[in-house]
Amino acid sequence: MGKKYVFRNKENKTNTSSTDMGVKEKRIRKGRLRIMIFWLFFLSGFSFAVFKHFTAVDTHTIVERETIRQEIIDVSAVESFVDNFARSYFTWDNTIQSLDHRKSEMLLYMTEALANKSGDNVKPELHDYSTVSRVQIWSVEQSETNEYCVWFTVEQRLGVYPDGKENEVGYTQLVSSYQMIVHKDHEGDMVIISNPTLHALPKKSQYEPEIRMSDNMIAADTARGVTEFLTTFFRLYPTISDREMEYYVHDNALQAIEMERFEFKSLSGLVINSIEGRENQISVSLTVEYTDLVTDMLNQSQYDLLLEKGDNWKIVSHSLQE
């Protein structure tokens, strides 16, 4: 019999080999694509970084600090100038000599135009004289480089002499408030450039300090010991010496007064409070009453004290109570 040749297996092998080659080529192509994408992103990022490096604006945070320097301006000369002017301006009597003298005095303080007007503004028809008992400067504010706005009050007495100066029949006491502007040049010479203009009188403030209360955190024994310590100390305080003060006061927190004319009377308004985080210290507010043996007045001294407990209680700081 003749030989038969079967090609199926060979063809399968060939086909299998071709399939494997195709898979390898696909894998190679995918790998190359990934590498290309990686380099593309890398080069893009690198180019962008180089671009930003050369085109970016260099920014710095600048912290501006405003330094406010308070300059103390000496206004004592302005105050004296206004005080002298007010005493001349509001002082006169109904004689021709007095009125002429007042008019000439105005030229020493005011501009010529103001002095000519102010010199004739007194009409002594209701009163025979005017005197000044007090001039008080309330404020001096620099409104311009060489100008000062001055607020002042004048206590003025106006009287009547119907039968001569020996027989005054009555007088009127007035308090008036004014503002005016004083010009001061670089050499220190001054002149008034506005008339005394009516201004509101100073008033009492409506402020009331907060009423202090004890926080009830202090034990009764501690409160009693503190009260006894303060009573003993303030009874001795008017006459106690610096050396004796060392037993009651730490590091000169309270100065000796050494005045025998004050006699201790009592403590009042005692407020004792604990201090958070300081178990050996307490704050105390109180009023100490003394009798002034010379004037017979009752002195009521108010204190805010910080007490510290060691071998005994001591005052370690103090301030005036509001």
Asked whether residue 228 is domain-assigned, the answer is yes
Asked whether residue 172 is domain-assigned, the answer is yes
Q: Which of 9-18, 41-50, 93-102, 122-131 has the lowest mean pLDDT?
A: 9-18
What is the average pLDDT across 169-183?
Answer: 91
Q: How confident is the model at residue 21 (pLDDT cuts 50, 70, 90)?
A: low
Asked whether residue 310 is domain-assigned, the answer is yes
Is residue 90 located within the same domain as residue 179?
yes
- Which pLDDT score is estimated for 292? 97
Residue with tokens 């009042």: 268
Expressed as residue numbers, the domain containing 80 is 76-198
Is residue 95 located within the same domain as residue 171?
yes
Alpha carbons 299 and 11: distance in angstroms, whole number: 130
Q: Are 251 and 315 in contact (CB under 8 A)?
A: no
Amino acid letter, 54: F
Alpha carbons 138 and 153: distance in angstroms, whole number: 8
- Which pLDDT score is estimated for 313? 95
Is residue 103 located within the same domain as residue 191?
yes
Q: Which letter does DSSP use for residue 162 in this model?
A: B
The number of C-alpha atoms within 13 Å of 299 and in the hemisphere containing its C-beta is 15
Q: Under 8 Å CB-to-CB from 85, ≥6 apart: which residues? A: 109, 110, 192
Residue with tokens 């593309």: 40
Is residue 91 located within the same domain as residue 41?
no
Residue with tokens 């079967």: 6
- Which pLDDT score is estimated for 9? 47
**Domain count of the fold of the chain:** 3
In 3D, which of 300, 282, 275 has the Cα closest to residue 225?
A: 282
Q: How confident is the model at residue 127 (pLDDT cuts 50, 70, 90)?
A: confident
Q: How confident is the model at residue 5 (pLDDT cuts 50, 70, 90)?
A: very low
pLDDT digits (tens, 9 = 90+) for 284-313: 999 999 999 999 999 999 999 999 999 899
Q: Are 248 and 189 in contact (CB under 8 A)?
A: no
Q: What are the structure tokens assigned to 178, written together?
A: 């004014």
- Which pLDDT score is estimated for 171? 82
Asked whether residue 67 is domain-assigned, the answer is no
CATH of the domain at 285: 3.10.450.540
pTM: 0.65
Q: Which letter does DSSP use for residue 173 in this model?
A: E
- Which pLDDT score is estimated for 317? 92
What is the average pLDDT across 8-30?
Answer: 53
Is residue 48 located within the same domain as residue 80?
no
Q: Under 8 Å CB-to-CB from 88, ≥6 apart: which residues? A: 102, 105, 106, 108, 109
- Which pLDDT score is estimated for 74? 83
Is residue 296 located within the same domain as residue 230?
yes
Q: How confident is the model at residue 138 (pLDDT cuts 50, 70, 90)?
A: very high
Checking if the pLDDT of 236 tops 60, the result is yes
The number of C-alpha atoms within 13 Å of 142 and in the hemisphere containing its C-beta is 11
Is residue 120 located within the same domain as residue 41?
no
Residues making up the chain, counted from first to last: 322
Is residue 84 located within the same domain as residue 184?
yes
Is residue 22 located within the same domain as residue 124?
no
- Which pLDDT score is estimated for 155? 97
pLDDT digits (tens, 9 = 90+) for 181-206: 999 999 999 999 999 999 999 999 99
Is residue 191 located within the same domain as residue 275?
no
Alpha helix (H) residue ranges in the chain: 8-55, 76-89, 96-106, 112-118, 220-236, 242-245
Is residue 244 located within the same domain as residue 145?
no
Asked whether residue 71 is domain-assigned, the answer is no
User: Beta strands 170-184 and 147-160: pairing type?
Assistant: antiparallel
